[in-house]
Amino acid sequence: DAGITQSPRYKITETGRQVTLMCHQTWSHSYMFWYRQDLGHGLRLIYYSAAADITDKGEVPDGYVVSRSKTENFPLTLESATRSQTSVYFCASSEFTSNEQFFGPGTRLTVL
């Protein structure tokens, strides 16, 4: 299917566990982004990537790790989940940073 997909859609985990959220896009867009969305904060950028093997920190990168070995995939890993990382996570892609971003459906993560 064309577009941008995220998996899983829902995840419950425990404090201290490692969790990986997956993001896949079929447009061959250069840029990919990870955001978290919390009430009162809107969308906050965690990490972004300009191309395969190029990643950069956003506004709230602490506690997260990303990689981009292939253009179409951009996984986000929480190495040791904390309760403060309970949130809805959105992945997005675009041709350039100033172009329209296409968002995935989101992953709702709960850390107990």
Partner 1 sequence: TQLLEQSPQFLSIQEGENLTVYCNSSSVFSSLQWYRQEPGEGPVLLVTVVTGGEVKKLKRLTFQFGDARKDSSLHITAAQPGDTGLYLCAEGNQFYFGTGTSLTVIP
Q: Which residues bind partner 1 (CB under 8 A)?
A: 33, 35, 40-45, 48, 58-59, 90, 92, 94, 97-98, 100-101, 103-106
108/89 Cα distance (integer angstroms): 6
Q: Which is nearer to partner 1, 41 or 83 (by Cβ)?
A: 41
Structure tokens at 37: 């969305």
Shortest distance (Å) from residue 16 CB to partner 1 = 29
DSSP readout, 61-83? Answer: -TTEEE--SSTTB--EEESS--G
Q: Which is nearer to partner 1, 22 or 43 (by Cβ)?
A: 43
Shortest distance (Å) from residue 29 CB to partner 1 = 13
Q: Which H or E element spans position 90?
A: strand 87-94
